[in-house]
Amino acid sequence: MQETRVFDGAKLRASLFNAEGESLFVTFRQRVAVAGEFEDRGPVRNMTAHGYAHLHIQPRNNDWYINSETKALARSLKELANGFQDVSAMGFSMGGYGALRFSRALRLSRLIAVSPQYTIAPGVVPYDRRRKEAEAFDEALGDLIRYGRHGVQGVVLFDPFRKMDLSHAMFIQAVFPDLQLCRLSCGGHPASQVIREGGSFWDLQSMLRDGPLNAARVLDLHRSRRRLSRTYWQKLARVARQRGRPQLGAAADARLQGLAEGRETVQ
């Protein structure tokens, strides 16, 4: 499928696939371990096969989309979005932040944000020291109150046992009140790991397309997949012991052993 570069900067890039679609689906690159290059990315066929155009936005570096090209990208996105009847998006961690930051420019109507950050500005979240690039972050240019579309609907997925992710989710809902919080216990970071491990990631994407998109439906999907998820039982065992519940930790270990031996199967 042909790629059309709708923004081709030195620091930011936006690639469009299936440009003739009536509705637009947008994805954002998440933070990567080794930055410095743009990624080669094809279309999300779960969306383009149903008539959607797909736009993928990425930074060259882990700068959280905040740099000297941010405003120019926002102008390009605003012009592009005017050509579509509906715009939805999905983003993970840094990508979730990116979706919120450009939600107004995109006229974003629906969003799935998976373990997103509200900001990495040290003056706003001094307790979150996970990101070494925080010191160079432009708090004003990255302000979600100013640049976000506060009426966007959808869900924020997060693992409530990860304190920083919980804190960011609460910040986000305060600014975007129509986003529902969805607590996916032992989902990790990003919190969709159990859903992906269970082979239901496309089901999650499809909620943006077909609906309904709400926290209860996503939670049901998570619960349906956690029984056979090694990720879930590993994290539950660790959390249980951290919280002084050794019996629950032992039960989780037993489930893991059963999975390893093939004794746990779909019923």
Which CATH number fits the domain that encloses residue 206? Answer: 3.40.50.1820
Six token digits for residue 76: 């390009």
pLDDT exceeds cutoff 50 at 212: yes
Residues 266 and 174 in one domain: no
Provide the pLDDT confidence category of residue 264 given band limits of 50, 70 and 90.
low
Q: Pairing state of beta strands 52-59 and 12-17?
A: antiparallel
- pLDDT score recorded for residue 191: 97
pLDDT digits (tens, 9 = 90+) for 21-80: 999 999 999 999 999 999 998 999 999 999 999 999 999 999 999 999 999 999 999 999
Q: Are residues 15 and 119 in the same domain?
A: yes
Residues 209 and 262 in one domain: no
Residue 261 is predicted with a pLDDT of 87
CB burial of residue 196 (10 Å; 0-12, 13-18, 19+) = middle
Place of tokens 């986003």: 179
Question: Which residues make Cβ contacts (< 8 Å) with residue 135, sequence separation at least 6?
Answer: 122
- Do residues 75 and 171 share a domain? yes
pLDDT in tens, 163-190: 999 999 999 999 999 999 999 999 999 9
What burial class does residue 61 get, using C-beta atoms within 10 Å of its C-beta: 0-12 exposed, 13-18 middle, 19+ buried?
middle
| Beta pairing partners, 158 | 183
Please indicate, yes or no, whether residues 139 and 251 belong to a single structural domain of this protein. Answer: no
Three-state DSSP state, 208: helix
Per-residue pLDDT at 132: 86
| Tally of structural domains, the chain | 2
Residues 266 and 150 in one domain: no
Identify whether residues 50 and 107 lie together within a single domain: yes
User: Same domain, yes or no, for 203 and 82?
Assistant: yes
Model pLDDT, residue 200 = 86
Based on the fold, state whether residues 57 and 187 are members of the same structural domain.
yes
Instruction: Examine the domain organization and report whether 49 and 143 are in the same domain.
Output: yes
Residues 153 and 237 placed together within one structural domain of the fold: no
pLDDT at residue 267 greater than cutoff 50: no
Averaged pLDDT score across all residues of the chain = 95
The share of the chain scoring above pLDDT 70, in percent, equals: 98
Instruction: For residues 205 and 46, give the distance between their C-alpha atoms in angstroms, rounded to a whole number.
Output: 8
Radius of gyration of the chain from Cα atoms? Answer: 19
pTM listed for this prediction: 0.94
Residues 172 and 143 in one domain: yes
Domain boundary among 226, 242, 258: 226
pLDDT of 262 over the 90 cut? no
Q: pLDDT confidence of 266, banded at 50, 70, 90?
A: very low
Instruction: Determine the average pLDDT of the residues in 185-208.
Output: 94
* The 12-17 sheet, strands edge to edge: 3-8, 12-17, 52-59, 23-28, 86-92, 110-114, 153-158, 179-183
| Mean pLDDT value across residues 225-242 | 95
The residue range of the domain holding 235 is 227-267
Tens digit of each residue's pLDDT (9 = 90 or more) over 119-168: 999 999 988 888 889 989 999 999 999 999 999 999 999 999 999 999 99
- 208 falls in which pLDDT band (50, 70, 90)? very high
CA angle 164, 168, 172 (to 5 degrees): 170
